[in-house]
Amino acid sequence: MSDPLVALMVASGVPSVSAEETARNTKLAAQVKAAFETARAFAPSADTVLNGTLVLATATRFPSTGSEDQRKTVLSYIARGKITREIQLAAALAFIKENPAKAIDEASFDSIVGVGIAPTPAEIKDAVAALITQVKADLVAQRYRFNFGTLFAELRKHPRLKWADGPVVKEQVDAAVLATLGPKTDADNAKVKAPAKTAEPAAAAAAAAASTSASSTSTTNKADAVATGPLTEQQIAGAFLHFHKVGENYKTENYVVTPKTDELLKKHVAKINGKVHTRFPPEPNGILHIGHAKAMHINFTFARVNGGKCIFRYDDTNPEKEEERFFVGIRQMVDWLGHKPAAVTHTSDYFQELYDLAVELIKRNHAYACHQTEAEVRDNLPSKYRDRPIEESLIVFEDMRKGKYDEGKATLRMKHTMEDGKIDPVAYRIKFHPHFKTNDKWCIYPTYDYSHCLIDSMENITHSMCTKEFQNRRMSYYWLCNALDQYCPVQWEYGRLNMNYTVMSKRKIQKLIELNIVRDWDDPRLFTLMGLRRRGFPAAAINDFCARLGVTMASATVDPQLLESCVRDELNFSVDRVMATLEPLKIVIDNYDELTLTTSTLPAGAKEAVSVAVPAKGTNAIEVLRIPGDASKGLRSVPVGKTMFIDRSDFREANEAGFRRLTPTQPVALKYCSLLITLASIERDAAGNPTVLHVTGAPVTAANKPKAFITWVADVPASAGLASSARTVELRIVNQLFLHKNPEDKETVPGGWLSDVNPNSLVVLKGTAVDAGAAAAKIGDCFQFERFGFFVVDTDTTDKHLVFNQIVTLKEDSGKN
């Protein structure tokens, strides 16, 4: 036992194993050594044996928000024998956590920690006997299956017994129970058969499903990840339960408390009426992506479910990278996702206040003007200007503001070392570039490390939430607010969202645009919010996806399937069905005029459609449900006629095993109109390819029930108020942009991320036929093309040229033929 600290702890009653383990942790060992030294200073005499177990517990468990004076008080109580038991120490630490930086009055603290209260065995016995008398009827009825935990909980409410040693109390309870019931019988020892499980309540089932979906994203999702319907408001609110309550900042881990914290918190709570205040602070130097949607969800939703406010703040401190289109585009995305900011602000709104605080920071000797080069700052070299006189720094900083220094020739730096070891982060730098909002009023601009926490403080933000990579800036955030005696919000971190098969950095997206791999920031193959909107992803689906991810520290790398499943959930019950043929093949029903068709009617008040037969001759259209199985959405007209189009994939000239659609020997049915068609003859082009199929039709019956029903589009001119059903359109099939999950992984993609671009990321089909339901669609309208997927009308659409983007595929059996 050569280590003096180990010897000290063991001599004070700490088990040797615990002492040696503590000594191996350099940082903890220093804290423990300091605690023993402090306690020894308060000991009545040099011969006093300290309670090492309690001293060690104080060193390891003392609240980070507690003050040094409070720590000394607790250690003095241990040294003087006023705190002698773990239950007393727990009460002391709980009080300090609830009252950080509060001066301790020893008289009241004695009562709080139970000084001098030592219940005698007789007291304990009498209290236990009285309690057993109160519950005797239930105890006798339930015998040893009685919930004895309730007895101990009740005894802990006793003003004196709560300070009693637990083993002594248990001994008295056990004795009283034995005296009342006698020894356990065989019946007492018999196992109780568990009751049969009842059906899981719908809310609990939904919560479990949501938990499964969200937790699975902490690592890469499996391809078959599915959503289970939108989360409820209660489920969404549950994700935020670990956040501190308004005004209780000091209860969060590592929050720094100063003598002014209590006063500042009270003023803060009064200004915001005790309501949650969050903010969404994007930089207007690019377009938002799916990760920003998660940030929006967390900030806006947390405020909303708690009856608070969320401020939308442009963090506009880099004028050379900011453009009007980015300001506009970001606001459009916030509105599109349905978020309602309580206010729209800019960091530039506070430039004067930030400058004034910087001057104050210099005056307090917490900042200095520096002339190190950018390379020297980047290399983390100590600055020879750190100890320059305060007045000199004030003059240089003022000259920076007046434009007397060139860019890169002077900065303002804070006297603080960040958690990542970065020395004296820059607070202000010179940029001779007009600002979008302030024009040329300023030529010095604050950095994120300087401005972010101070603006949060000025706007009375209660919860400052950011992604995990900012965790190492949290102590700098707290330091700066406290160095200026400003209200200090709490910084909370959450895991960053990454998506497989794509890139989301602004620099890489810009490169894709420059190389014409994608067209622009709103290309539907990108996971920018503009791209997802153009692709047809509903805002509600994106919000639901973000809710499923939860609010944890785990970074999420998610396959697109989880987002797509949320999209299907949203679209499946909200968009009209239409029929389309991706590669049209004309059919002529030779006996069409002799047939009857099936159409649907919807009698008033009916919950289901009724099928009726109508003669084919003279019928221009049949009625079908807009959404199958949902009569509340009504009916739509589908043109019919002798000439129709089916999809070329629905016909084979030779029979193939497993193929269930049209062949020369196998009939197939046309969906909705209940016609069974059988091949009669084939017209071909010069190369021998089928161009027209002549078929004969017959009603579908139980006797001739086909193996499959196929979709179709009638080739009829505009008539009876219907648009031509055979309008040809362009379809764009969107596939993953990259071939590998992580195109930036040099091991799986040694040629670099640009070499991994999927050559089939966008497949364009021209000449597709759609029925009347989509023939007159407008930009942004969404449909389900039956059997083929969900589609949206693209912004490239004109009056003469209709363009659809595939939103997502259908969840069909891939083996269905």
CATH code for position 62: 1.10.8
Beta-carbon contacts of 269 under 8 Å, excluding residues fewer than 6 positions away, are 246, 247
**74 and 157 fall within a common domain:** no
**676 and 594 fall within a common domain:** yes
Q: What is the pLDDT of residues 544-576, one digit of tens each?
A: 999 988 888 777 789 999 999 999 999 998 899
Whether 210 has a pLDDT exceeding 50, the answer reads no
Beta-carbon contacts of 630 under 8 Å, excluding residues fewer than 6 positions away, are 573
**105 and 9 fall within a common domain:** yes
Q: Over the Cα atoms of the chain, what is R_g?
A: 37
Q: What is the pLDDT of residues 454-479, one digit of tens each?
A: 999 999 999 999 998 898 899 999 99
pLDDT score for 350: 98
Q: Examine the residue annotation and report whether 583 is marked as an active-site residue of this protein.
A: no
pLDDT score for 420: 80
Structural domain containing residue 79? 4-112
**84 and 135 fall within a common domain:** no
Q: Which residues pair with 803 in a beta bridge?
A: 730
Least confident span in 90-104, 491-505, 582-596: 90-104
Whether 510 has a pLDDT exceeding 70, the answer reads yes
Element at 310 (helix H, strand E): strand 309-314
Q: Which of 294, 496, 548, 586 is catalytic?
A: 496
**Residue 205 — pLDDT band, cuts 50, 70, 90?**
very low
pLDDT score for 727: 73
CB 159, CB 111: distance < 8 Å? no
**90 and 172 fall within a common domain:** no
Q: Which of 112, 146, 164 represents a domain boundary (last residue)?
A: 112
Beta-carbon contacts of 369 under 8 Å, excluding residues fewer than 6 positions away, are 362, 385, 388, 392, 393, 396, 397, 400, 410, 411, 412, 413
Q: Which of 506, 508, 671, 741 is catalytic?
A: 506
Q: What is the pLDDT of residues 643-681, one digit of tens each?
A: 999 999 999 999 889 999 999 999 999 999 999 999 999
pLDDT score for 776: 81
Q: Which of 166, 184, 202 represents a domain boundary (last residue)?
A: 184
pLDDT score for 725: 53
Least confident span in 132-146, 404-418, 766-780: 766-780
**Residue 800 — pLDDT band, cuts 50, 70, 90?**
confident
**95 and 131 fall within a common domain:** no
**Separation between Cα atoms, residue 521 and residue 524, nearest integer Å:** 9
Q: Examine the residue annotation and report whether 283 is marked as an active-site residue of this protein.
A: yes
Neighbours of 488 (CB within 10 A): 28
**97 and 140 fall within a common domain:** no
**Torsion, Cα of 200, 205, 208, 212 (10° steps):** 120
pLDDT score for 719: 46
Whether 519 has a pLDDT exceeding 80, the answer reads yes
Instruction: Please report whether residue 105 resides in a domain.
Output: yes
- List, as one string, the DSSP characters of 596-660: EEEEEE--TT-SS-EEEEEESTT--EEEEESSTT-GGG-EEEEE--SEEEEEGGGB-SS--TT--
Query: 145 in helix, strand or coil?
Result: helix
Instruction: Please report whether residue 376 resides in a domain.
Output: no
Closest CA to 647 of 449, 788, 742: 788
Tell me the range of 23-27, 215-219, 269-273 where mean pLDDT is highest.
269-273
**Residue 229 — pLDDT band, cuts 50, 70, 90?**
low
Closest CA to 381 of 371, 366, 390: 371
pLDDT score for 773: 82
Average pLDDT, the chain: 89
Q: What angle do CA 601, 607, 611 make, to 5 degrees?
A: 30
Q: Is the dihedral of CA 212, 214, 217, 221 positive or negative?
A: positive
**Separation between Cα atoms, residue 95 and residue 609, nearest integer Å:** 68
Whether 813 has a pLDDT exceeding 90, the answer reads no
Neighbours of 366 (CB within 10 A): 17
Give the whole-number percent of the chain exceeding pLDDT 70: 93
What residue type is 384 in one-letter code? K
Determine the straight-line distance between the first and last CA of the chain, rounded to whole angstroms: 78
Whether 214 has a pLDDT exceeding 60, the answer reads no
Pairing of strands 444-446, 463-467: unpaired
> What's the CATH code of the domain at 180?
1.10.10.2420
Q: Which of 123, 171, 283, 786 is catalytic?
A: 283
**102 and 147 fall within a common domain:** no
Neighbours of 568 (CB within 10 A): 20
> What's the CATH code of the domain at 632?
2.40.240.10
**Residue 204 — pLDDT band, cuts 50, 70, 90?**
very low
CA 369 from centroid of its chain's CA atoms: 40
pLDDT score for 717: 61
> Which of residues 464 and 192 earns the better pLDDT score?
464
> Which of residues 288 and 190 earns the better pLDDT score?
288
The number of distinct structural domains making up the chain is: 3
pLDDT score for 269: 97
Whether 301 has a pLDDT exceeding 90, the answer reads yes
> Which of residues 47 and 776 earns the better pLDDT score?
47
Question: How many helices and strands in the chain, by DSSP H and E?
Answer: 26, 29
Instruction: Please report whether residue 437 resides in a domain.
Output: no
CB 616, CB 596: distance < 8 Å? yes
Q: Which of 131, 158, 184 represents a domain boundary (last residue)?
A: 184
pLDDT score for 222: 40
**78 and 20 fall within a common domain:** yes
Instruction: Please report whether residue 791 resides in a domain.
Output: no
Q: Give mean pLDDT, residues 616-623.
A: 90
**93 and 143 fall within a common domain:** no
Give the whole-number percent of the chain exceeding pLDDT 90: 70
pLDDT score for 192: 67
**Separation between Cα atoms, residue 300 and residue 279, nearest integer Å:** 8
Q: Give mean pLDDT, residues 268-272.
A: 97
Q: Give mean pLDDT, residues 111-128.
A: 91
**690 and 607 fall within a common domain:** yes
Encode burial over 402-439: b for 16+ CB neighbours within 10 A, e otherwise.
Answer: eeebeeeebbbbbbbebeeebbbbbbbbbbeeebbbbe
pLDDT score for 668: 96
Instruction: Please report whether residue 174 resides in a domain.
Output: yes
Instruction: Kindly state the DSSP code that residue 471 receives in the 8-state scheme.
Output: G
pLDDT score for 193: 64
**Separation between Cα atoms, residue 632 and residue 609, nearest integer Å:** 10
Instruction: Please report whether residue 676 resides in a domain.
Output: yes
Q: Examine the residue annotation and report whether 506 is marked as an active-site residue of this protein.
A: yes
Instruction: Please report whether residue 386 resides in a domain.
Output: no
CB 313, CB 346: distance < 8 Å? yes
> Which of residues 720 and 435 earns the better pLDDT score?
435
Whether 69 has a pLDDT exceeding 70, the answer reads yes
**604 and 675 fall within a common domain:** yes
Whether 586 has a pLDDT exceeding 60, the answer reads yes
pLDDT score for 194: 56
pLDDT score for 479: 95
Instruction: Please report whether residue 755 resides in a domain.
Output: no
Least confident span in 108-112, 327-331, 771-775: 771-775
pTM summary value: 0.77
Whether 2 has a pLDDT exceeding 70, the answer reads no
Beta-carbon contacts of 180 under 8 Å, excluding residues fewer than 6 positions away, are 132, 136, 139, 140
